[in-house]
Amino acid sequence: MKKVLTIAGSDSCGGAGIQADLKTFSAHGVYGMSIITAVTAQNTQGVFAVQDIDEDIIKAQIDAIFTDIEVDAVKIGMVSKPSTIYAIARQLEKYNPGNIVLDPVMISKSGYSLLQPESKQSLIKELLPKAFVITPNIPEAEEMLNAVTSEDIAIKTIEDMEQAAKEIYRLGPKNVLIKGGHMSGEAIDVLYDGQEITRFYSERINTKNTHGTGCTLSSAIASNLALGYSIKDAVSNAKRYITTAIEHSLEIGQGVGPTHHFYELYKKGGLIND
């Protein structure tokens, strides 16, 4: 069985973060493992408190896994503060895993900042060059480009997304996927692999329940990479997975509800392997 690790924050309401990642891994038939970087007190309406986990125990968790288990892919989500980022970066240098999917989580759907402002530069310098693929949404892509150019870059069109993907590629990741969830019209994601741009299309589903879509997509990409798919096939499969997960999203809580991870659904639709 393929083994996939998530390094991310805990979402108490189960829609995003570690919880979404582990559900996604299970639905893909891969074995999930987790390292918790922060605990959030969160529900579908907001994030109410965050406690960062000490970097020594983050490091110890990474040692515990890599000294014992072969890891086929790593997904990185909420990393919160600079010392957490440095700890993860040093451990990745030590164990050098492949298939690192970096979801540069910055602000939750409910508007709470999950990455401290002083962490942005550390994330760019320490983690971007280690990523096989980075998966920013549009505001995150803008933030990263603004941090490196000191300009006020706004991504408004699909061509802007393509240009931004090429510029973020120069910061060191092997592939850049900019997600179009925050645009209007079709939900189009754009991949740049250093050679060419590929667009991934889906209809825009009319729902407010998109809590955890970015976490789910990046974990689905990590699962597919672990299963041996190429980056383009991994993104294409993951895009179908997230579209189905949003189509069947759940009316749970009073705010932005979560996506649905239902093994039988994906099996029936040919979205996962046995």
Ligand X SMILES: Nc1ncnc2c1ncn2[C@@H]1O[C@H](COP(=O)(O)OP(=O)(O)O)[C@@H](O)[C@H]1O
Ligand Y SMILES: Cc1ncc(COP(=O)(O)O)c(N)n1
Query: Which residues of the shown chain bind ligand Y in the complex (CB under 6 A)?
Result: 8-9, 11, 16-17, 40, 42, 77-78, 105, 108-109, 114, 211-215
Is 14 marked active-site?
A: no
182 near ligand X, judged by CB under 6 A:
yes
Q: Rank residues 2 and 179 by Cβ distance to ligand X and give the closer one.
A: 179
CB of 135 to ligand X, least distance (A): 7
In the bound state with ligand Y, the residue whose beta carbon lies nearer, of 19 and 163, is 19
CB 259 within 8 A of CB 246: yes
243 binds, among ligand Y, ligand X, none (CB under 5 to 8 A by kind): ligand X
Among ligand Y, ligand X, none, what does residue 40 contact (CB within 5–8 Å per kind)? ligand Y
Is 135 marked active-site? no
What is the dihedral sign for C-alpha 166, 227, 4, 70? negative
- Which partner, ligand X, ligand Y, none, binds residue 171 by CB below 5 to 8 Å per kind? none
Of residues 2, 130, 179, 239, which has the active-site annotation? 179
Q: Is residue 217 at the binding interface for ligand X, with CB under 6 A as the rule?
A: yes
179 is catalytic: yes
**Residue 28 interacts with which of ligand X, ligand Y, none, CB < 5 to 8 Å by class:** none
Q: Catalytic pick from 59, 130, 215, 239?
A: 215
Catalytic position from the list 6, 210, 216, 243? 210
Tell me which residues touch ligand X (CB under 6 A).
137, 179-182, 187, 189, 202, 204-205, 210, 213-214, 217, 239, 242-243, 246
> Would you name the residues annotated as active-site residues?
179, 210, 212-215
